[in-house]
Amino acid sequence: MPELAQPIVRLIDEFAKLPGIGRKSAERLAYYVLRVKTEEALALSDAIRAVKLNVHQCKNCYNLSEEDYCPICQDKSRNERQICVVEQPQDLIALEKTGVYHGLYHVLQGRLSPLDKTGPEDLTIAPLIQRVERLIKQSSPNDPEVELIMATNPTVEGDATAGHIVNLLNGKKVKISRLARGIALGAMVEFTNREVLSDAFNERRIVE
């Protein structure tokens, strides 16, 4: 069998690194790229380049942003004393679509997972704690209490992550709530429909 040209092998190798793409699918994608018009294939590579070069993490909440601070953090009409903690930017998008929340967010960039060797230092937990401490310190006597809404996924790992953060804030002047269990156990915030997510949000329970 004749050997594949090196650039094709390289493209297949790159596709095979994508999540959920096996060797066979990677080959199919590579041959698709070879088949389509040059402009079309280059549009894909340009889109990847643009997203990697122009999209960064917001310096406050770690949401994806084209600027130093994301549009949500820049929106002065939002309540900055409420911070909703989510695992990933897709969860933030899902919650924004419900329209029930007008505070800010904090994107953890994942969840604690011993299996994947993801520890607290791999997530944005330290900046979150600093954020909360800064807010508490800057509070005036008449300000409502700082509220942290834990919207990590209702999975073992999501719960462990929320529990870890709650422990770190033990004794601090902060109200902590957790999304209600409207979301089925093991389901993902990202894929939960708007009504269920709104209910889970509105019926959030205070964590003691």
**CA–CA distances in Å: residue 63 to residues 22, 45, 67:** 30, 23, 11
**Binder to Zn ion among 11, 60, 88, 107 (CB under 5 A)?**
60
| Piece in contact with Zn ion (CB under 5 A), picked from 14-22, 45-53, 61-69, 94-102 | 61-69
Token pair listed for 166: 């709650």
Binders of Zn ion among 101-160, rule CB under 5 A? Answer: none
For residue 127, give every residue at least 6 positions away whose Cβ sits within 8 Å of its Cβ, in sequence order, or none: 62, 106
Alpha helices in the chain (DSSP H): 6-16, 23-35, 38-54, 71-74, 89-98, 125-137, 156-168, 194-202
C-beta of 105 vs 201, nearer to Zn ion? 105
Window 62-81: residues binding Zn ion (CB under 5 A):
63, 70, 73
Task: Give me the residues paired with residue 34 across strands.
Answer: none
Q: Residue 78 or residue 164: which is nearer to Zn ion going by CB?
A: 78
Measure the CA–CA gap between 124 and 54, rounded to whole angstroms.
Answer: 21
Residue 29 CB, shortest distance to Zn ion, in Å, is 34
The nearest distance, CB 92 to Zn ion, in angstroms, is 9
Report how many residues bind Zn ion under the rule CB under 5 A: 6
**Residue selected from 11, 61, 85, 95 as contacting Zn ion according to rule CB under 5 A:** 61
In the complex, the residues that contact Zn ion under the rule CB under 5 A are: 58, 60-61, 63, 70, 73
